[in-house]
């Protein structure tokens, strides 16, 4: 009877009995191993060091890591990759008393050997399938190269483009960010741990790291718990629901408590309320950094605070390896806490199959066969073109005709490779298949002659190249300018107070625009930038971000119209740094300005508009779309009911193209008050010229719910506005319905 009940219970959870018995089997093995382990060996499992090949943070001390591995003092290494290196170290682990295999972790953020667009760019595609595929390929390559674990996805919501790490996430929106978090976890973990093409995902940085004050990396976070729950936590929950094996905590403090030592975040929410069964790794040195925070006096106290708060593995601060044994001996830390952390880590090692074969990810033949496959490069090109946002196309300068006699390619990034790869690339600049814009254009220009002048550097202020650039522009039918940031201007510890197009690049754009030639500006960057003059004067602008290995080919695809751009901004672009933080789903206030000119004691600025330069969800196409025929299945919705919202989307232009139709809702009167609009659904649809399609969305209780001050999720009866369009600031259809008790 008991067995039958268990079976029914599992069935209800969608868990197969085979999976259940495998879990039980692993639990038994973990317990058996735990029994054999000394306290020192247990603490060793909680210790993670970096390898010496490439380093992504301040190294505490080199020492003889191989000897430490042999002594069972290290459970995991990061920044060790490639079959050869991982095999060597795993061999050392096999010389330890209990032969517990090492876990190899790496920041596989946007591709491994084949580099995909940076995550913020991919988010602009609003294409969950393409995003999942990119993570799938990254995992396949990484796993073939000895890696078990990626420190991705970063699911931090970011409303401040000064923060350099916006490039690693999905932008400002919780709903879009949650769907992307799921897609990436599914991509990395594939059919599940244990497959040799799946790596463990790691949802990071838990939590609220994206809200660093002033956009300064590593800075404090001060926010209401309601905002934390409503805006910053949902993408983490989505990652967990998708099965994320691990979490990484964060450098910041949250309302005065460092995340690494934060029991509320890690124990109460993650391991308690959410029932997370995986393990939490600290961020690089974040346990020891609690001393600088002023939260603990020394590393001994840091280790105590972190393990008590639920940080299971210590990345590179050596607080655990140096102090946990003593802390247990002195009764400051309970043995059960250590056992719990060790269990969580061992379980993953078993799930990955490392106890059956510690070298199963270190297979030279597979590595050779897997890296750099043509179909991976093709997928990188595909998602790259889907990530390019058309910001402006006055007079239909784009797409370029194949009949042009000549095109001038001008700017500091025309021949860039490393800079197009972007921050957090592996093998930075060492790939042999990076396609620059210049090469991409050569591949597609046909009979058109390509001219080139650099004009200026990304950051220098020398105008020495201007004259040559201007005369080159004058010789051409059309000018394409490649401008933007260098690869190390957005990323970790790359916050900028000035997010304008760097150096004198906008001066060069002015000089070229003055030639009277049609100008297309490509903006390559890891964040939203400010470029008002360009936006106001240049007829055509594409925001290409950093697109990775196939950047040049993907950009040429879009320039020549082989692909009709369909991406939409996942972050608001400000007019000025003074508007930051800026995001579309703000609260209305008691004195909302009706528009940018309404300044009489209104919520705005006396010296500039309050609206952004480009809104969340914005992005053009070479064709046009019209929205009509909005229908709501009912005007009143019961609390446990749902409502169907449909409309007609038509391609009203002359080219086939995709539109991302977006649905926003506003809860008009609520306690607490609700944002002016919130994204609740979207669909990316391909339409031929003249084709129409009926799009339907279903809105249920979940879409209407929000957190009250007691952190309970509630709905409140009342009026809801429905807004539909191709951007958060271009609503084409609207209506209302009532939620009734």
Q: Using CB under 6 A as the criterion, which residues of the chain lie in contact with ligand BGC when the complex forms?
A: 56-57, 78, 107, 151, 204, 283-284, 492
| 416/132 Cα distance (integer angstroms) | 27
| Least separation in angstroms between CB 543 and ligand BGC | 25
| 735/629 Cα distance (integer angstroms) | 11
| Nearest residue to 52 (alpha-carbon basis) of 69, 34, 65, 40 | 65
| Least separation in angstroms between CB 155 and ligand BGC | 12
| Least separation in angstroms between CB 115 and ligand BGC | 17
| Least separation in angstroms between CB 149 and ligand BGC | 10
| 284/318 Cα distance (integer angstroms) | 11
Whether the bond between 228 and the residue before it is cis, its omega within 30 degrees of 0, is: no
Q: Which residue, 281 or 483, is less far from ligand BGC as judged by CB?
A: 281
| 325/304 Cα distance (integer angstroms) | 11
Residue of 160, 173, 283, 314 marked catalytic:
283
Helix axis angle, 335-351 to 299-309, nearest 10°:
70
Q: What are phi and psi of 56, to 5 degrees?
A: -115, 20
| Least separation in angstroms between CB 280 and ligand BGC | 13
Buried b (16+ CB within 10 A) or exposed e, 5-18: eeeeeeeeeeeeee
CB contact at 8 A, 525 and 484: yes
Question: Look-up: residue for tokens 């990316």?
Answer: 684
Q: Which residue, 262 or 444, is less far from ligand BGC as judged by CB?
A: 262
Q: Which residue, 319 or 436, is less far from ligand BGC as judged by CB?
A: 319
Strands (E), 180-293: 202-206, 246-249, 253-254, 257-258, 279-281
Q: Which residue, 151 or 531, is less far from ligand BGC as judged by CB?
A: 151
Distances (CA, A) of 318 to 46, 50, 88, 343, 520: 10, 11, 23, 20, 52
Helix axis angle, 17-36 to 2-13, nearest 10°:
110
| Nearest residue to 577 (alpha-carbon basis) of 309, 36, 216 | 216
| Least separation in angstroms between CB 385 and ligand BGC | 28
Handedness of CA 158, 160, 166, 171 (dihedral sign): positive
| 347/332 Cα distance (integer angstroms) | 26
| Least separation in angstroms between CB 55 and ligand BGC | 8
| Nearest residue to 557 (alpha-carbon basis) of 383, 416, 376 | 383
| Cα 87 from chain centroid (whole Å) | 30
Whether the bond between 121 and the residue before it is cis, its omega within 30 degrees of 0, is: no
Rg (CA), the chain: 27
Q: Which residue, 423 or 583, is less far from ligand BGC as judged by CB?
A: 423
Q: Which residue, 55 or 686, is less far from ligand BGC as judged by CB?
A: 55
| Least separation in angstroms between CB 460 and ligand BGC | 29
Q: Which residue, 37 or 167, is less far from ligand BGC as judged by CB?
A: 167
CB contact at 8 A, 501 and 531: yes
Known catalytic residue at 241: no
Q: Which residue, 220 or 652, is less far from ligand BGC as judged by CB?
A: 220
Catalytic positions: 283
């Amino acid at each position: 009877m008991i067995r039958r009940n268990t079976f029914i219970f599992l069935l209800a959870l969608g868990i197969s009995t085979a999976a259940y018995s495998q879990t039980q089997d692993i639990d038994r093995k973990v317990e058996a191993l735990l029994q054999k382990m000394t306290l020192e060996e247990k603490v060793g499992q909680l210790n993670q060091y970096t390898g010496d090949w490439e380093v992504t943070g301040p190294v505490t001390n080199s020492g003889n890591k191989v000897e430490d591995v042999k002594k069972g003092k290290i459970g995991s290494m990061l920044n060790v990759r490639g079959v050869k290196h991982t095999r060597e170290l795993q061999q050392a682990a096999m010389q330890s008393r209990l032969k517990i295999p090492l876990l190899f972790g790496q920041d596989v953020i946007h591709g491994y050997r084949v580099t995909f667009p940076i995550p913020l760019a991919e988010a602009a595609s609003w294409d969950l399938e393409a995003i999942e595929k990119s993570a799938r390929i990254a995992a396949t390559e990484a796993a073939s190269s000895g890696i078990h674990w990626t420190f991705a996805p970063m699911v931090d919501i970011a409303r401040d483009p000064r923060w350099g790490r916006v490039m690693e996430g999905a932008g400002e929106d919780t709903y879009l960010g949650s769907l992307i978090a799921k897609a990436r976890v599914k991509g990395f973990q594939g059919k599940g741990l244990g497959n040799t093409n799946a790596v463990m995902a790691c949802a990071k940085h838990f939590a609220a790291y994206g809200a660093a004050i002033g956009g300064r990396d590593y800075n404090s976070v001060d926010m209401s718990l309601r905002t934390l729950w409503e805006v910053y936590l949902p993408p983490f929950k989505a990652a967990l629901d998708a099965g994320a094996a691990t979490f990484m905590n964060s450098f910041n403090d949250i309302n005065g408590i460092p995340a690494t030592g934060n029991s509320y975040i890690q124990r109460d929410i993650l391991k308690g309320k959410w029932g997370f069964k995986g393990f939490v790794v600290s961020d690089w040195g974040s346990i020891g950094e609690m001393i600088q925070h002023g939260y603990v006096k020394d590393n001994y106290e840091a280790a105590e605070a972190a393990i008590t708060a639920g940080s299971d593995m210590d990345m590179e601060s050596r607080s655990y390896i140096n102090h946990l044994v003593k802390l247990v001996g002195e009764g400051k830390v309970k043995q059960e806490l250590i056992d719990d952390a060790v269990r969580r880590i061992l379980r993953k090692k078993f799930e990955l199959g490392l106890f059956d074969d510690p070298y199963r990810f270190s297979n030279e033949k597979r590595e050779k066969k897997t890296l750099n496959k043509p179909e991976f490069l093709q997928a990188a090109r595909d998602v790259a073109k889907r990530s390019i946002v058309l910001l402006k196309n006055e007079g239909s300068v784009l797409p370029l005709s194949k009949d042009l006699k000549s095109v001038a390619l001008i700017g500091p990034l025309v021949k860039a490779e490393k800079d197009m790869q972007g921050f957090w690339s592996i093998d930075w600049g060492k790939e042999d298949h990076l396609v620059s814009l210049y090469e991409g254009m050569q591949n597609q220009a046909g009979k058109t002659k390509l001219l080139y002048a650099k004009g200026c550097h990304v950051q220098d202020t020398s105008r020495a190249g201007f004259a040559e650039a201007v005369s080159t522009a004058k010789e051409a039918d059309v000018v394409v300018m490649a401008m933007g940031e260098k690869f190390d201007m957005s990323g970790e510890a790359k916050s900028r107070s000035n997010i304008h197009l760097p150096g004198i690049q906008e001066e060069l754009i002015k000089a070229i625009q003055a030639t009277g030639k049609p100008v297309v500006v490509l903006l390559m960057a890891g964040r939203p930038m400010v470029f008002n003059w360009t936006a106001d004067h240049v007829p055509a602008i594409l925001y290409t971000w950093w697109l990775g290995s196939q950047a040049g080919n993907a950009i040429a695809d879009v320039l020549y119209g082989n692909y009709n751009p369909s991406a939409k901004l996942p972050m608001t672009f400000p007019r000025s740094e003074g508007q930051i933080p800026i995001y579309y789903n703000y609260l209305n206030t008691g004195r909302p300005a009706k528009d940018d000119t309404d300044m009489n004691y209104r919520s705005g600025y006396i010296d500039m508009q309050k609206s952004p330069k480009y809104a969340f969800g914005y992005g053009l196409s070479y064709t046009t779309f019209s929205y009509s025929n909005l229908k709501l299945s009912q005007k009143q919705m019961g609390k446990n009911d749902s409502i169907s919202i449909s409309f007609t989307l038509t391609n009203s232009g002359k080219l086939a193209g995709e539109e991302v139709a977006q649905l926003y809702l506003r809860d008009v009167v609520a306690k607490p008050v609700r944002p002016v609009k919130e994204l609740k659904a979207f669909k990316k649809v391909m339409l031929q010229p003249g084709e129409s399609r009926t799009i339907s969305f279903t809105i249920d209780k979940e879409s209407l719910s929000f957190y009250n001050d007691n952190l309970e999720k509630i709905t409140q009866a009342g009026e809801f506005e429905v807004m539909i369009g191709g951007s958060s600031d271009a609503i084409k259809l609207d209506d209302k319905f009532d939620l009734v008790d």
